[in-house]
Structure 1
């Protein structure tokens, strides 16, 4: 942890506060969806989406630096990819097992191996699920091997695999039934993942004032583009599903969409303010690393509320 400057230092473990805000987002969605019953898979889905986005962000860090000489510590990067890739794979596996049990109409403890094999072999949801588990596991394994070998490999292949893994479930969901629905869903998910995941990755990896000065201004540009894409595709997706303004209040899906829009608006106001202050100060080397980390943690934790709400949309009629 960087201790440059004065004041209370911030640990990167503070990012774990996102666990609580993720639960808050999912819980809020459950309340808004009443009288529909809460779906436990929402929390698993939200966890997998968040962790997957951070893995995508870690794999994109080199792209953020571009041709500059500034590079993050490779061993730390591979270790983070290996650890979070493993968490991602376990989250996807838990979601797959739950989905298999739910498809059979019984609890996870009653699921038999042959029924699980049937689900992942012949049911499209299971096939997509096992593909995401294998891809996330492959990313974790690559991270382990690269860490042990202290490799200087490019992370571009992992970036591609992480992006594909994140959109697999989305492009086979309800939006796939609409014209260009799969494309819109994929672009929406990748924009959200890049905005959130890359900032989380910077909070994990950057250690010094100069590191933040090199990375944050460029991240800000990427984030702005991601938010524009996220907003446009989100509005289109919602309009296709809701087909009017009345369902925004009359349906559980509409109420969750409205709540997500409000949360995102508040986050965007914060991001706009920090783009005018935080980014300028960092670029001018006028802010220490600890203060930058604190702001990054606040924004990451806030965005996970929206991720929790978004995950619940997938199972809300």
Structure 2
């Protein structure tokens, strides 16, 4: 995963992400009060964050040239194993919380038989089972398969399946158009956020930033376009009136997420016009590039936590 400096960077990034996620979930709970579920939102946010980072880590080697790709893949392996393992565990906990909500009991009182019935007989339960299987598959591939482009494609495919399975059974499960829109929205967000997080965890000198940042910038443009399009379509499907954006807890959380997405898009465009040319010209040090990435990632982590809170808010 790199030398001592990279290990310190990774620990700081993980700690910062957890703090931002917790703070964002708490803020979303306050906005949605009294209908929000803070514990469920925290579990979902951790699961979604682990999924996003996993996807980014299995894709990030493709952003570097073929000559250097093996090194980037080697650096990404240990974080990818850790992220996918966290994804598996948090999704299992998420299934228990989902079972408890469906059964109307506390999470600590859920029986194994009840969990089994939930994952077999309900759409959210089956989606959770698919996600657990996909996350476990990614963990197996990155842990056991030879490090190659084909293994990376397989891991990315499994991660993508795991990421879109839950959105298709959420608020928009009754609408084909809405379900597809929210799946596109979530997958685009995961690519954008996950690959940037992976860059922070794997890239450690200005030469690498100069090579990979232009490709990330091109990818992020497509992701932002798909994210906005999917979000707009999903919003139009699910909302009956603009007044819902402030009249209830769910709408207030959605309004905060929309505002944050706008701010994030503006920041990303600013980084594209200032950071990208500096990195390409080797004028930005690795520390400067990492600092700019941290700022963008903090907003991304907040947006993901709000999205997780939105999903568990009535």
* Residue 216 of structure 1, CA deviation: 0.4
Report what 2:200 is aligned to. 203
Structure 1 CA distance, aligned partners of 2:101 and 2:56? 32
The yes-or-no answer on 1:178 pairing with 2:178 is: no
Structure 2 CA distance, aligned partners of 1:208 and 1:52? 26
Q: Map 1:240-251 to 2 at 5 A.
A: 240-251=237-248
Q: Map 1:104-119 to 2 at 5 A.
A: 104-119=103-118
Between Structure 1 and Structure 2, the one with more helix by share is: 2
Report what 2:148 is aligned to. 152
TM-score of the aligned structures, taking structure 2 as reference length: 0.92
State the SS of the aligned residue for 1:287.
coil
Report what 1:127 is aligned to. 126
Q: Which runs of 5+ in 2 are unaligned?
A: none
Corresponding pairs, count: 309
* Residue 3 of structure 1, CA deviation: 11
Report what 2:50 is aligned to. 51
Structure 2 CA distance, aligned partners of 1:218 and 1:22? 28
Change in 2 beyond 3 A, CA 1:196/1:179: same
* Residue 2 of structure 1, CA deviation: 8.3
Computed over aligned residues only, the root mean square deviation of the Cα atoms, in angstroms, reads 2.1
Structure 2 CA distance, aligned partners of 1:141 and 1:2? 25
* Residue 63 of structure 1, CA deviation: 2.9
Report what 2:73 is aligned to. 74
Structure 2 CA distance, aligned partners of 1:210 and 1:116? 50
* Residue 143 of structure 1, CA deviation: 1.8
Off by >4 Å, runs of 4+ in structure 1: 1-4
Report what 1:89 is aligned to. 88
* Residue 243 of structure 1, CA deviation: 2.1
- Counterpart contact for 1:22–1:46, Cα < 8 Å: yes
Q: Which runs of 5+ in 1 are unaligned?
A: 5-9
Report what 1:230 is aligned to. 227
* Residue 39 of structure 1, CA deviation: 4.3
Structure 2 CA distance, aligned partners of 1:271 and 1:259? 18
Moved more, 183-192 or 167-176: 167-176
Provide Cα deviations, 1:43-76, integer angstroms capped at 9, x if missing partner. 11111111101111111113323x6433143332
Structure 2 CA distance, aligned partners of 1:108 and 1:35? 19
- Counterpart contact for 1:53–1:194, Cα < 8 Å: yes
